[in-house]
Structure 1
Amino acid sequence: MKERPILFNDEMVRAILDGRKTQTRRVVKLQPSNGWSFETAEGAAMRLGYITSSHPKKGKFGAFIRREIHPGSGKYEHDIIPCPYGQPGDQLWVRETTLRVEEHGFVGPVYTESEYGREVLGWGLRPGPDDPSEVEPHEIRRRPSIHMPRSMARLLLEVTAVRVERLQDITEADAKKEGCDNSETEGARYCGWYEKPRRAFRRVWERINGNGSWADNPWVWVVEFQRVDSEVPS
């Protein structure tokens, strides 16, 4: 079992905390090209596993790819795209944005997407062992998620399944598992802000990855997970 960091923005952290998010989609950085394509298994699913023969990537878990050595020869060379998020059974610790309250003598860590984080932004600081300095809330710097150390992680996720698919192949059911389970009440539909989960996911995806990123329809890793630890460090 290996442990790796993974970034989530505040919106997605909230969805995990609420129990609404159990999947994440991340672009496969090396999209197959130059004749390479994903290998398919029974039922047209992409084959994932390990290279066991002599190969520079022997033992790595990922998606198998292949390409024909000579057109029409029926003979192929094989490779694998390693999954940067591990395999089922591995764990991911969540990096999220925090507030640098420790720099001013207050108790941390403080997470921006939490009840206490919102208290801090509204003057709910807890004094630490040292005399707190006089500070205005707007003077407290944010620590970007990319810089959050492992010691501050409060969310630990166990990978339960991994697959590869086209981004636009996401179903309504899977969009809900991505945390896009907008209200389906009659009032919501009447007010006009109701969205089907898949459409809501598309909007979230483009907000994170940029305009046109949905239309690009890249291959993505689909990582399913469950929370195994959600204790806030004291």
Structure 2
Amino acid sequence: MKEYPFIFCGDMIRALLHNEKTETRRIPTYLNCTIDGLKVSKKRWKEYDWGNAEIKDISIWGGDHHVRVRHKKDDTFHRVRIIYEPGDLIWAKETYVLENPAEYITEITLPTDRPVKKDEDGEGNEIFLIPHYRATEPEPNIVPDDLDDPYDDRTRWISSIFMPKWAARIWREMTEARFERLQDITDEGIIKEGVIKREYRKPENGGHSLQHHFIILWNSINEKRGYGWEKNPIVIAINFKEFRK
């Protein structure tokens, strides 16, 4: 069992908390795949022709689900496989801030609905670091740990990129990981991705389809990176279930 950090936006954090999201799609990279069974560098990864890569179905390749990709310089073909396995864990990284209530409270009641880290300040005094999460606490009115003014409760949010594992409140256990083309996603898959059912209005009634909502969500995260819906990139579709750490 291995543990992997996944970044989620605020909408998807809320969907996870309501158990409305049981699936996610990620772009294959040198970090989550191997080539011919080996991890490669970011530089090496860019040497392959990903625009013409092909998914090889397990029924064709004797149970070996992979992507076939050509090395642009050597003109050789290679197998790309996903590193994730059933039972591996996801911990969700989200926008957060850490509070040290000892800065302005003498008697501290520690919360029970989130992880708390016991630590020491610069003088060796015991302190407790309490994470707060932007997805569900847009303005917690706390003094962040890295501020000295105990009256300054303006929240300075920290990017999800920097969230430490101990502060993660959401954990999930992977049940399946597979390659597929982005546009092969079904309505069922879109719902599992966390596109809220109540937002779905049938096109014949003047509304938008589930796919429309998913495209907006996907492009808001991936289009600027070159992986927009219209590109129909190969993705890793990951199913997961709730896990209590």
> Structure 1 length normalisation: TM-score?
0.69
Matches within 5 A, 1:107-146: 108-114=130-136, 117-118=137-138, 120=140, 123=141, 125=142, 133-137=150-154, 140-146=155-161
**2:191 aligns to what?**
176
Distance 2:201 2:10 in 1: 28
Tell me, what secondary structure is at the counterpart of 1:113?
coil
Matched, 1:148 2:148: no
Deviation at 1:38, TM superposition (A): 3.2
Q: Which amino acid aligns with 1:195?
A: H
Q: Is the 8 A contact 1:158 1:228 kept in 2?
A: yes
Which structure 2 segments of 5+ residues have no match? 30-44, 71-75, 105-128
Runs (4+) of structure 1 exceeding 4 A deviation are 43-46, 184-190
Which structure 1 segments of 5+ residues have no match? 49-62, 68-76
**1:72 aligns to what?**
none
Q: Is the 8 A contact 1:100 1:141 kept in 2?
A: no
Tell me, what secondary structure is at the counterpart of 1:93?
strand
User: Of the candidates 144, 158, 182, which is equivalent to residue 173 of structure 2?
Assistant: 158
Deviation at 1:219, TM superposition (A): 0.2
Deviation at 1:101, TM superposition (A): 3.0
> Structure 2 length normalisation: TM-score?
0.67
Deviation at 1:78, TM superposition (A): 6.5
**1:204 aligns to what?**
217
**2:25 aligns to what?**
25
Change (3 A) 1:103 1:79: farther
Deviation at 1:141, TM superposition (A): 1.3
Tell me, what secondary structure is at the counterpart of 1:229?
coil
Q: Is the 8 A contact 1:112 1:118 kept in 2?
A: yes
Tell me, what secondary structure is at the counterpart of 1:142?
coil
**1:80 aligns to what?**
79
Deviation at 1:135, TM superposition (A): 0.7
Matched, 1:97 2:84: no
Distance 2:157 2:89 in 1: 26
Distance 2:57 2:11 in 1: 34
Change (3 A) 1:45 1:101: farther
**1:65 aligns to what?**
68
Tell me, what secondary structure is at the counterpart of 1:28?
coil
